[in-house]
Amino acid sequence: MSQKWDKLIVALDLDDKAKIKEVVKVLSPKGVKFKIGSIAFTKFGPDFVKEFIEEGKDIFLDLKLYDIPNTMKKTAAIIAEMGCWAFTVHLQAGEQALKGVKNEVIETANKLGKRRPLILGVSVLTSSLATQDEVNELVSLADSVGLDGVIASPRDAKGIKAGFNKLKVITPGIRNPGSDAGDQLRITPASIAFANGADYIVVGRPIISQDRYLEAAERILKG
């Protein structure tokens, strides 16, 4: 499974700076990407994110934007300016907001000569239950406005890829059999997520709550 390291996104859901840096130090030589969400962003702010980007790390800023179109597009422009690899918006924000985000991100990246961050739409949180129809309706909006991908349960990945093959599918909710699911409801091991067509898997606690991050990540990729 060594070829899958570049498909692993490690969620840095920690409020301890030293620990975050340690996880990044141990796992970046493997070529993984890192996700900074509301926990670390709220505690350490944008400069902390920029530090990693300046070191050449691929950072996925997972703030799950969900607001009126003007607020979303202005926030998206700042994220594009930071040089993040990817960021999330809630698909429920609707067509106008999502189109505004896309246009703003393209414009900002072009103006600054930076790579454009991937815009990933959150369909339904993997801690909630949803039908395939509900997921597909939101995903079809992501497709029609030209987002780059969606965040979805590994169990929904196959259906999404079947209907919308241009969209990247990023799946949290990854657990090895017999391990603690935490608050995640719709889970699978990594092998099933990839077999279902996931382009990337997002994994937090099964790696960051362990003492040996590298071995924990290896176990997940073998799972």
Q: Using CA atoms, how far apart are residues 136 and 142, in angstroms rounded to an integer? A: 10
User: Of 79 and 108, which has the nearer Cβ to ligand C5P?
Assistant: 79
Q: Report which of 220, 168, 163 is spatially closest to residue 192, judged by C-alpha positions.
A: 220
Contacts 24+ apart (CB under 8 A), 128-133: 128/185, 129/185, 129/186, 132/156, 132/159
Instruction: Give the torsion sign (CA, 95, 61, 126, 67).
Output: negative
Question: Min. distance of Cβ 11 from ligand C5P in angstroms?
Answer: 4
Among 91, 118, 145, 203, binds ligand C5P (CB under 6 A): 203
Residue nearest to ligand C5P (CB): 204
Instruction: Give the torsion sign (CA, 51, 57, 58, 64).
Output: negative
Task: Kindly indicate which of the ranges 90-98, 131-139, 156-164, 197-205 contains the residues binding ligand C5P, using the contact rule CB under 6 A.
Answer: 197-205
> Does 204 contact ligand C5P by CB under 6 A?
yes
Task: Kindly indicate which of the ranges 21-29, 67-75, 161-169, 200-208 contains the residues binding ligand C5P, using the contact rule CB under 6 A.
Answer: 200-208
Residues 153-192: x/- map of binding to ligand C5P (CB under 6 A)?
-------------------xx--------x-x--------
C-alpha radius of gyration, the chain, whole number: 17
Question: Min. distance of Cβ 113 from ligand C5P in angstroms?
Answer: 30
> Does 147 contact ligand C5P by CB under 6 A?
no
Site for ligand C5P in 36-65 (CB under 6 A): 37
> Does 126 contact ligand C5P by CB under 6 A?
yes
Among 125, 141, 169, 217, binds ligand C5P (CB under 6 A): 125
User: Of 80 and 91, which has the nearer Cβ to ligand C5P?
Assistant: 91
User: Of 83 and 172, which has the nearer Cβ to ligand C5P?
Assistant: 172
With CB under 6 A as the rule, give the number of residues binding ligand C5P.
16
Decide: helix, strand or coil at residue 197.
coil
| Angle 20-187-119 from CA coordinates, rounded to 5° | 60
Q: Using CA atoms, how far apart are residues 17 and 82, in angstroms rounded to an integer? A: 20
Q: Using CA atoms, how far apart are residues 68 and 171, in angstroms rounded to an integer? A: 26
Decide: 216 and 203 in contact? Cβ < 8 Å: no
Q: Which of 64, 99, 114, 158 is catalytic?
A: 64
Q: Report which of 92, 102, 101 is spatially closest to residue 125, judged by C-alpha positions.
A: 92
Q: Establish whether 64 is a catalytic residue.
A: yes
Provide the annotated active-site residues: 64
Contacts with ligand C5P, residue ranges (CB under 6 A): 11, 13, 37, 122, 125-126, 151, 172-173, 182, 184, 202-206
